[in-house]
């Protein structure tokens, strides 16, 4: 039981660190996307520990991991598109008023 609570606390610590990194990194798009992936990894870890503890099937975890991989691929495609159009992934080079 102690191992389970330490795994849950570790995943919550990972989530908070990823959230702080996401809030604090407003310079580059790549660092923001990496923070989002880290948050998804911490949620995946929390879900896998919870499902293994309950003894349930892990199909939902595989579905969640598939969606996280699709989100990562979409983020990388967006990053490539932004770098091609703006020349950099810095948020200061973006203009909200520009199409």
Segment 15-52, tens digit of pLDDT: 999 999 889 877 888 888 899 999 999 999 888 888 87
pTM above 0.95, yes or no: no
What would the CATH number be for the domain defined by 2-92?
1.10.287.3510
Q: What is the pLDDT of residues 45-83, one digit of tens each?
A: 888 888 877 777 778 888 888 988 999 999 999 889 888
Distances from the Cα of 2 to the Cαs of 6, 9, 53, 65, 92, in angstroms?
6, 11, 12, 26, 46
| Alpha carbon distance 77, 10 (integer Å) | 31
């Amino acid at each position: 039981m102690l191992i389970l609570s330490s795994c849950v606390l570790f995943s919550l610590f990972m989530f908070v660190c990823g959230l702080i990194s996401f809030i604090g990194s407003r310079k580059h798009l790549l660092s923001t996307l990496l923070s989002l992936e880290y948050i998804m990894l911490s949620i995946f870890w929390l879900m896998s520990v919870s499902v293994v503890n309950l003894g349930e099937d892990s199909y939902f975890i595989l579905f969640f991991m598939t969606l996280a991989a699709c989100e990562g691929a979409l983020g990388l495609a967006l990053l490539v598109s932004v770098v091609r159009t703006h020349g950099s992934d810095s948020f200061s080079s973006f203009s909200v008023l520009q199409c």
